[in-house]
Chains A and B, each alone.
Chain A
Amino acid sequence: MPINTTIAWMTARGLFGRRRFLLLLPLPVLLVALAVFARVTGINSGDWAQPVVNGLGFAVLLPVIALIVGTGVLGSEIDDGTIVHILTKPLSRAEIVWAKFLVASGVTALTAAIPLYVVGVLVESVRFGLGLAAAAAIGAVVYSAVFLLLSLLSRRPVLVGLLYVLIWEGLLGNLVSGTRVLSVEQYTLTYADKIAPTEYLTGNVSLTVSIIMSVIITVVCLGYAVLRLRSFTAASETS
């Protein structure tokens, strides 16, 4: 499907042109700084790889960045009402959603994959780094689709997204193993584990389930987002 460059360009400018974009920087910097610190002080990789890569990288960095970017690409335009200008242009809704989704997943993938690659190299090898980066990129695509839809479903998508990340993936994912089948974080872990097998990460979901669920979630979310945008009612800011 071709990408509407005008929409994509506007979205990217909307993301980078604001001060809010700086919020994305501290997380990757902290991740790399922690890894460098651990490497310099010579701690055993087995000890720090798990909390840094899994605890900070895949559990916090990737979802939080995807949340800010994914809800921002469409959500900020809904918030300030400029979405109306795009909707009144003779563009199909699918075209709009597709362009915004590509920008969101691209930006998220870059912001998350680069620091994770550096961390992977510091932990073990270039192969591990590439595995982490690839897994983060795939995870970024799925997360972006979910959070893009969320910004069309709720007036407060970031809060709902935080609930999902903290409660569903964070709290329940550790306690109730059944919820892992519906957790993007677990798919990402499985990808990282399968691409570059190490003792640091273990996927709890099988690869087949991960791939199928990732595709289903992405397609369904994007499809529903198009439907929602088709019947979108421009409302003023309430409550």
Chain B
Amino acid sequence: MSVIHDIGYRRYQGPRLGRVSVLAALYVHGMRAAFGLGRTFKAKIFPWSVAGIMLVVGVVAAAVKFQTGLELLTYETFPDQMSMLLILFCAVVAPELVSRDLRSGVLPLYFSRPLSRADYPLAKLAAMITSAFAVMAVPMLIMFLTAAFSGDGMGAVWDEVKAFAPGLAYALLFALVYSSIALLVSSFVSRRAVAAGATVAVFLVTAPVVVVLTFATTTTGQQLAQLASPSTLVGGVGQWIFGRPEGMPEELGIGSFGPLYGAVTLGLIALCVSLLLARYRKVAS
């Protein structure tokens, strides 16, 4: 019989922070990890260079509009044009959030805390979405502020707000879809480099499928073809909300399938999140 002796160590008697604090700590840590805060310079290069490029694009677009009145990028086209950079950003950040923990084998330590199985992936996902949204929202905010302050009267500002809000929602949709896919893919790969490659591959590989499908079938089929890739899927929702961009031929549009695109997008997010939760239901020690 073995007995645990009380050898007189002082016990902790202070307040115990609950689940919410654990979640908040994990979220804040995730946000810091996403941008390499508190890490060496090397960890900051990739996220900040991607964020920097987007910021430059936003500032240039705002300045050109302010100086000449020419709209290089609207609030709707900005997320569209930045989607390749957003893929890169997700491929950099998602492995940083989840693959690192897999690699160093700290998951059993996390789950021995008052933290439910769902908390860990959800906190990571929240950090991923917030950071992905932030890198797009900040340049858009600059575009908005420049336009709002250069207009005359409150009416102009209100018009600007009406254009800005849906654009921001569109950017959030991009962030939601890309983040959940990137985090799901990365959560299965422990080497960060391979996780980044796999994440990008998911997006790159599905793009030519769309092109082949558009040539393949009838007009209906062509209008449905864009469901095949995450980038064009979100683009399809954008067309549903904002209408087909000028100059785009009808057969490349989504026709009357807008609600379907919206439903598939929501379904895709739900699927990714539930797979992510299922993945963390059991972790190897």
B212 touches A (CB below 8 Å): yes
Contact between A166 and B200 (Cβ–Cβ < 8 Å)?
A: yes
Q: Write the A25-39 contact mask toward B (1 if CB under 8 angstroms, else 0).
A: 011001000100110
Contacts of A30 in B (CB 8 A): 205, 209
Query: Do A159 and B92 form a contact, CB below 8 Å, given A34-B208, A71-B193?
Result: yes
Contacts of B197 in A (CB 8 A): 23, 64, 67-68, 158, 162
Nearest CB in chain B to that of A40: its residue:
B216
Chain A positions 221-239 with a Cβ under 8 Å from a chain B Cβ: 238-239
**Distance in Å from the Cβ of B187 to the closest Cβ of chain A?**
15
Query: Do A75 and B88 form a contact, CB below 8 Å, given A43-B215, A52-B212, A55-B211?
Result: no
Q: Write the B36-50 contact mask toward A (1 if CB under 8 angstroms, else 0).
A: 000110110010000
Contact between A158 and B196 (Cβ–Cβ < 8 Å)?
A: yes
Docked Cα-Cα span, A167 to B204, in Å, equals 13
Contact between A37 and B204 (Cβ–Cβ < 8 Å)?
A: no
Docked Cα-Cα span, A162 to B200, in Å, equals 8
A48 touches B (CB below 8 Å): yes
A7 touches B (CB below 8 Å): no
Chain B positions 59-105 with a Cβ under 8 Å from a chain A Cβ: 84, 88, 91-92
Contact between B193 and A159 (Cβ–Cβ < 8 Å)?
A: yes
Contacts of A51 in B (CB 8 A): 208, 211-212, 215
Q: Secondary structure of the A side of the interface?
A: helix
Residue of B46, B88, B205 with highest tally of chain A CB at under 10 A: B205
Chain A positions 8-63 with a Cβ under 8 Å from a chain B Cβ: 20, 23, 26-27, 30, 34, 37-38, 41, 43-44, 47-48, 51-52, 55-56, 60
Chain B positions 189-203 with a Cβ under 8 Å from a chain A Cβ: 191-194, 196-198, 200-201
B115 touches A (CB below 8 Å): no
Contacts of B215 in A (CB 8 A): 38, 43-44, 47-48, 51
Docked Cα-Cα span, A37 to B228, in Å, equals 15
Nearest CB in chain A to that of B87: its residue:
A166
A153 touches B (CB below 8 Å): no
Contacts of B208 in A (CB 8 A): 34, 51-52, 55-56, 60
Residue of B46, B91, B216 with highest tally of chain A CB at under 10 A: B216
Docked Cα-Cα span, A156 to B178, in Å, equals 22
Q: Write the A200-239 contact mask toward B (1 if CB under 8 angstroms, else 0).
A: 0000000000000000000000000000000000000011
Q: State the interface size on chain A (CB cutoff 8 A).
A: 37
Contact between A155 and B42 (Cβ–Cβ < 8 Å)?
A: yes
A129 touches B (CB below 8 Å): no
Chain B residues touching A, range: 20 to 34
Docked Cα-Cα span, A52 to B212, in Å, equals 7
20 more CB-based (< 8 A) A-B contacts, given A75-B193, A159-B91, A166-B200: A20-B194, A23-B194, A26-B201, A37-B216, A38-B212, A43-B212, A44-B215, A48-B212, A51-B208, A51-B212, A64-B201, A68-B197, A158-B197, A159-B92, A159-B193, A162-B200, A163-B88, A170-B84, A171-B84, A239-B39
A positions within 8 Å CB-CB of B: 20, 23, 26-27, 30, 34, 37-38, 41, 43-44, 47-48, 51-52, 55-56, 60, 64, 67-68, 71, 75, 79, 155-159, 162-163, 166-167, 170-171, 238-239
Sorted nearest first, the 7 A-B pairs with minimum C-beta distance are A158-B193, A51-B211, A56-B208, A47-B215, A239-B40, A55-B208, A239-B42
Q: List 17 A-B contacts (CB under 8 A).
A: A23-B201, A34-B212, A37-B212, A43-B212, A47-B215, A48-B211, A52-B208, A55-B211, A155-B42, A156-B42, A159-B46, A159-B92, A162-B91, A163-B88, A166-B200, A167-B88, A239-B39
